[in-house]
Amino acid sequence: MSVIILLILASLTVALVFLGAFIWSVRSGQYEDTLTPSMRMLADEADVKKSQPNSKLK
Amino acid sequence: MNTNVETFKYDNRIVRAFGIVTVLWGIVGMLVGMLAAVQLFFPDANLNLQFITFGRIRPLHTNAVIFAFVGNGMFMGIYYSLQRLCKARMFSDFLSWFNFWGWQLIIVSAAITLPLGFTTSKEYAELEWPVDIAIAVVWVAFSVNLFGTIAKRREKHMYVAIWFYIATAITIAVLHIVNSMEMPWSWMKSYSMYAGVQDALVQWWYGHNAVAFFLTTPYLGLMYYFLPKAANRPVFSYRLSIIHFWALVFLYIWAGPHHLLYSALPDWAQSLGMVFSLMLIAPSWGGMLNGLLTLRGAWDKVRQDPVLKFMVVAVTAYGMATLEGPLLSIKTVNSLSHYTDWTIAHVHVGALGWNGFLTFSMLYYLWPRLYRTNLWSTKMANYHFWIGLLGMMFYAIPIYVAGVTEGLMWKQFTKDGFLQYPNFLETIVQVVPMFKLRAVGGTLYLVGTFLMAYNLYRTAKAGQFEPDTEAQAAALAKAPVGHGKPSWHRLLEGKPLFFTVLTTVSILVGGLIEIVPMFLIQQNVPTIASVKPYTPLEVLGRDIYIREGCLGCHSQMIRPFRSETERYGEYSKAGEFVYDHPFLWGSERKGPDLAREGGKYPDAWHYNHMDDPRSTSPGSIMPRYSWLLTQKLDTTSLPARLNALRKVGVPYPAGFENGPAQNDLQAQAEKVAADLKQGSVTAEPDREIIALIAYLQRLGTDIKSAPATTAAK
C-alpha cells in the first residue's frame, strides 16, 4: 500500500500545478471579465466570411 | 491602435486530417466492438482464430474507440478551436503533423500488437512498453504545440475551453508515465513494476483518470467551444463554466479507488474514492446544465439543425453518466453492480452518447466550414441522429437489464440458505438474449456512422477545401507602451516563469517515479508466510493467461460477501498478491471468478474445457482455446522473465534462472502430463496448455496450505 504515497504525491503535484495556474489566472486578471469572453468567442467567424465571397453559410 | 493588426492563417489541413481518421478509426473500433459483442452469444464467431478471439480484441475495441476514435476527434476539435480562440496559427506545423502521424502509428501498432497477444493486461493501458514510450513522445509533442500556441496567442483572455485542454495535456502525461512503469523482458513484453494491491491502485488511479482527462475534460472544452458556436449564442453562464473547470480538476484525480470497492484495497482508500466520486456530481451537473441552458430560447434551432441535436443528446448523456458514476461509487450500489454488465452499460452511455455524439456533431459542424459549402444532406444527418439514438437505446437498455439480472442472480439465496444459482453458467445463459439485443443496438449505431461517413464524403466532393483560413487580429502588447498598465508587463514576465515552473515540476514527477518504486519493492514483503512466488511453469502459464486476455471475463478477486465466499471460497486477501506483476483482478465476470480455482477441477477437466468449453459446460459462451493444445511452450525466454521478475522484487534465488528453473519447469510439466494421463488425456509436456493448467491449479491455493490461516476463519 506504500504506493499510495507515490500516487498522493503525483496527484498533489498535479493539484499544485493547477493551484498555481489558478492563482496565476486570477492575479493576471483572466477572470476580471466573466461576461464578454463568452461573446467574443462567437465573433471570429466574421473574418472567415470575408475571405469566402461565395460562401453558402448563413 | 490599429497599427499592430496582424494577418495570419489558421491551419485547416491538420483539422481535416484528424477528422478523416476520426471517422475511419471510429468505424474500425465499432466493427471490432461488433465482433466482440457477437462472440458473447456466438463464441465460434472467432473462427477459431486466436487473433480475433474475445480476450484479445476486447482491448483492441476499447483502445480503438478511446484513443483512435475519441482521441483523433479530440485532436481535430482542439486543433480547430485552439487556433481560433488564441487568434493564432498552431505553434509549429511540424509538431502538428508529428502529432498526427505519430498518433496514427501508435494506433496501427496497437491494432497489430493487441491481436498478437502483446498486452500488459492493465485496462486502457494494455499497450506494451515500446508503444508506451511512443505515446509519451507524441504526447509531449502535442503539449509543446498546445502551450506554444497559447504562448503566442493574440487574445489575452484564455477562453475556458483552453483550460480544459491544458488540464488534459498535463494530467494525461503524469497518469501515463506513473502507470506505465514496467520492467521489459523482451522487445515487446514487460512486467509491471508494482505488484498486487499496489498495482491495482495505480492502475485504477490511472484508469479512472483516463476516463476523466481523456474522455471528459477535452470534450468538455470542445463542448464549451462548439455548442455556443453552433447555437450562435454565448454559453449560459461563463462564470459557471470557470467554476466547473476548477472544481472538476481538483476533484477528479482522487476518485480512482471506486473501481476497487470491497476488494483487498484498504477500507479508508475505498471510502476516499467514494466520497470524492460523490462530490463530482456537483461540477458535472453544473457543466451539463450550463450546456443545456445555453440553448434556452434556441430550441427552435435544435429542431432544425442536426449539429445541435447531436449536442443536446451528448450533453444529456454526459449528465446521465456523471450522475450514474457517483451512484455506482456508493459501496452498497457497487456491491451489486461491480463485475456485472451494468458497468458496460454505464461506460457505453458515456462513449456512445457523450463522446460519440459530440464527435459526430463536431464533424457535421466542421465539414461544411472546411469545404466552404453546405452539408450535402441535412436529412441524412437527421436519419443518422435517430438511428444512432435508437442504437444507443438498444445497446444500453438490454445491457442494464443484463447487469442487474447478473448482480441479483449471483446474490440470490434460497430460503434454506443455499445459493439459488450455484452454477455460474445459469446466470450468464439467462442474459444471453440481452447480449443479442445489444448487438442489434451496436449495428444500428454503426449504420448511422456509415451514413455520416457518406454524407461527409459527399459534402467534401461538393465543396472546395480551404487549406488555410485567413484572419486578422491585433498582436498582444509586447511591452508596456507609455500609458499601458504596469501589471501587463509583470504578466508577460511572469509567463515564461510559469512555464519554467511547470517544466520543473514535471521533471520532478519524473524523478520521483523513478525512485519511489525502487523503495516500494523493498516493502513488498509478504504478510502471509505461506504465499510463495510462482514456479517457472506457472510464470509461463500466467503469461499465457495475460496474452489470451482471460481477465476480460474472469476476475481474480473474491469480495467479502457470503454470496461470493459460498460460490468461490475464502475472500481474497491483500497478502496473496504480493508476487502478482501485474495484478489480474479483472473488472468483469462473464465467467466465474478464478481466485480460488486451484484444485477445484482435475487437470484433465481443464484440458477438455480449454479444447471445447461446451464439452464440459454445455451452453458456455467461452471461446475454444484449442491452439493452446498444439502450440509449443516458449521456454527460451524463461531466464529473461525470471530476471525481470526478480528486478521488480520477486525473491527468486540468485542463479535460479540458469539451470534450476529449467529443471523445475520440466519436472512440473511432466507431473501435469502424468496427471492428465490419469484423466485419460494424452498431452505432450511441452505444450502451452500444460503451463496454463499449472497456473490455474495454483490459483488461491497458497493460503490453503498455511497452518495459520485459521485466524481468518
Query: pLDDT tens, B89-130?
Result: 999 999 999 999 999 999 999 999 999 999 999 999 999 999
* Residues B313 and B232 reside in one and the same domain: yes
Taking CB atoms and an 8 Å limit, are A6 and B513 in contact across chains? yes
Q: Is A46 on the interface with B (CB under 8 A)?
A: no
* Residues B551 and B508 reside in one and the same domain: no
Question: Tens digits of per-residue pLDDT, B166-210?
Answer: 999 988 988 898 888 889 999 999 999 888 888 898 899 899 888
Question: Tens digits of per-residue pLDDT, B1-22?
Answer: 456 789 999 999 999 999 999 9
Contact pairs from chain A to chain B, CB under 8 Å:
133
Taking CB atoms and an 8 Å limit, are A42 and B501 in contact across chains? no
Mean pLDDT on B660-684:
92
Domain for residue B480, yes or no? no
* Residues B398 and B510 reside in one and the same domain: no
* Residues B654 and B509 reside in one and the same domain: no
**Contacts with A35 from chain B: Cβ below 8 Å:** 238
Instruction: Please tell me the distance from the alpha carbon of residue B369 to that of residue B50, in angstroms, as a whole number.
Output: 45
Taking CB atoms and an 8 Å limit, are A7 and B201 in contact across chains? yes
Taking CB atoms and an 8 Å limit, are B198 and A1 in contact across chains? yes
**Contacts with B371 from chain A: Cβ below 8 Å:** none
Taking CB atoms and an 8 Å limit, are A6 and B368 in contact across chains? no
> Which contiguous run of DSSP H or E holds residue A30?
none
Please, what is the angle between helix B160-179 and helix A3-27, to 10°? Answer: 160
Residues 462-521 of B with CB under 8 A from A: 466, 469-472, 487, 491, 494, 498, 501-502, 505, 508-509, 512-513, 516-517, 519-520
Residue B32's pLDDT is 97
Domain for residue B680, yes or no? yes
Tell me the pLDDT of chain B averaged across its residues.
90
Residue A48's pLDDT is 44
pLDDT at residue B550 is higher than 90: yes
* Residues B91 and B51 reside in one and the same domain: yes
Confidence of residue B388 (pLDDT cuts 50, 70, 90): very high
Question: B230: domain CATH number?
Answer: 1.20.210.10
Q: Is B385 on the interface with A (CB under 8 A)?
A: no
* Residues B200 and B349 reside in one and the same domain: yes
DSSP class of residue B173 equals H
Domain for residue B252, yes or no? yes
Mean pLDDT on B503-526:
52
* Residues B567 and B421 reside in one and the same domain: no
Q: Is B201 on the interface with A (CB under 8 A)?
A: yes
* ipTM of model: 0.78
pLDDT at residue B513 is higher than 80: no
| B288-302, B474-488, B541-555, B579-593: least confidently modelled range | B474-488
* Residues B501 and B601 reside in one and the same domain: no
Residue B712's pLDDT is 41
Residue B583's pLDDT is 93
Taking CB atoms and an 8 Å limit, are A37 and B225 in contact across chains? no
Transcribe B673-704 into DSSP letters: HHHHHHTT----TTBHHHHHHHHHHHTT-TTT
Domain for residue B116, yes or no? yes
pLDDT at residue B518 is higher than 70: no
Question: B624: domain CATH number?
Answer: 1.10.760.10
> Which contiguous run of DSSP H or E holds residue B552?
none
Mean pLDDT on B518-537:
72
Least Cα separation, residue A26 to chain B (angstroms) = 11
Instruction: Please tell me the distance from the alpha carbon of residue B631 to that of residue B540, in angstroms, as a whole number.
Output: 13
pLDDT at residue B524 is higher than 80: no
Please, what is the angle between helix B160-179 and helix B486-522, to 10°? Answer: 20
Domain for residue B528, yes or no? no
Residue B704's pLDDT is 79
pTM of the model: 0.90
Residue B708's pLDDT is 47
CA distances (Å), origin A46, targets A42, A50, A58, B132:
9, 7, 11, 42
DSSP class of residue B405 equals H
For the record, the C-alpha cell of B103 comes out as: 498518433
Nearest CA among B163, B159, B294 for reference residue B218: B163
* Residues B451 and B518 reside in one and the same domain: no
Instruction: Please tell me the distance from the alpha carbon of residue A1 to that of residue A4, in angstroms, as a whole number.
Output: 6
pLDDT at residue B225 is higher than 50: yes
pLDDT at residue A15 is higher than 90: no
Residue A16's pLDDT is 84
Instruction: Please tell me the distance from the alpha carbon of residue B574 to that of residue B580, in angstroms, as a whole number.
Output: 11
Confidence of residue B505 (pLDDT cuts 50, 70, 90): low
Mean pLDDT on B381-402:
96
Residue B68's pLDDT is 96
* Residues B459 and B546 reside in one and the same domain: no
Question: Tens digits of per-residue pLDDT, B327-375?
Answer: 999 999 999 999 999 999 999 999 999 999 999 999 999 999 999 999 9
**Contacts with A1 from chain B: Cβ below 8 Å:** 197-198, 201, 266, 269, 574
Domain for residue B73, yes or no? yes
Confidence of residue B478 (pLDDT cuts 50, 70, 90): low
Locate the chain B residue with the closest alpha carbon to A39: B234
Alpha helices by DSSP H, B183-237 = 196-210, 217-231
Q: Which of A28, A35, A55 to mutate to test binding with chain B, by most B CBs within 10 Å of its CB?
A: A28
Confidence of residue B516 (pLDDT cuts 50, 70, 90): low
Residue B480's pLDDT is 43
* Residues B508 and B382 reside in one and the same domain: no
Q: Is A58 on the interface with B (CB under 8 A)?
A: no
Mean pLDDT on B236-261:
88
Domain for residue B658, yes or no? yes
Q: Which of A2, A5, A6, A23 to mutate to test binding with chain B, by most B CBs within 10 Å of its CB?
A: A6
How many domains does chain B contain in total?
3
Q: Is A12 on the interface with B (CB under 8 A)?
A: no
* Residues B460 and B556 reside in one and the same domain: no
Residue B493's pLDDT is 45
Mean pLDDT on B528-543:
92
Locate the chain B residue with the closest alpha carbon to A58: B374
**Contacts with B494 from chain A: Cβ below 8 Å:** 24, 28
| B399-408, B451-460, B514-523, B552-561: least confidently modelled range | B514-523
Domain for residue B1, yes or no? no
Confidence of residue B482 (pLDDT cuts 50, 70, 90): very low
> Which contiguous run of DSSP H or E holds residue B622?
none
Residues 112-151 of B with CB under 8 A from A: none
Provide the residue range defining the domain that includes B509. 486-522
Taking CB atoms and an 8 Å limit, are A34 and B238 in contact across chains? yes
